[in-house]
Structure 1
């Protein structure tokens, strides 16, 4: 999994690419909870993530809890139809702010 970070319009944008599964979830887990504690607004772009397993969902939930505990906001963007289906079935669509693209994510939590 590749993870790229940059600042945009007052938010930290984290762009992930590759499968988010048990073999790669640790890479995102090393970054996401720390960043959501450090930044008031974080947008995680999953536009280049074709697959999210239960291990990936766990990492995202850890990030969401870390953001909430810090009083900060996290938005997810760019979910493919397959990934969106996983979120809908698991109920994660109700937990996260999910937007179509980074700009909409920044607007939603900014």
Structure 2
């Protein structure tokens, strides 16, 4: 898994490439925690290049959403692949997060 982050307008864009599972979810959690501590509150997760997400990855996203909301921000998701969307649907997370077809649409929601 590779994580890239950048700031655009009012949001921090976090792009995840590859698989997000128990072997690497801690890396994403540390990245999000560092961004929150630096004062970032709005996050756009771009899943264009993410192949797979496990329950450990879902847990990190839920943590990010809770902490972001507590600081007056929000988390939105974009460009879920078919496999990733299926996991979100089965886990019931599709109703928890705002999900957009493209990063541009997601960015426009802030």
User: Normalising to structure 2: TM-score of the pair?
Assistant: 0.91
CA–CA distance in structure 2, aligned partners of residues 54 and 81 of structure 1: 17
Structure 2, gaps ≥5 residues long: none
8 A Cα contact 1:33 1:67, kept in partner: no
Equivalent residues, number: 109
What is the 5 A alignment of 1:1-110?
1-36=1-36, 38-108=39-109, 110=110
Q: Which segment is superposed worse, 36-45 or 2-11?
A: 36-45
Q: For residue 77 of structure 2, give the secondary structure of its aligned residue in structure 1.
A: strand
CA–CA distance in structure 2, aligned partners of residues 6 and 32 of structure 1: 12
Structure 1 residue 52: deviation in Å? 0.4
CA–CA distance in structure 2, aligned partners of residues 74 and 35 of structure 1: 13
CA–CA distance in structure 2, aligned partners of residues 54 and 20 of structure 1: 9
Let me know the Cα RMSD of the aligned residues: 1.4
8 A Cα contact 1:4 1:16, kept in partner: yes
CA–CA distance in structure 1, aligned partners of residues 51 and 36 of structure 2: 23
CA–CA distance in structure 2, aligned partners of residues 24 and 105 of structure 1: 25
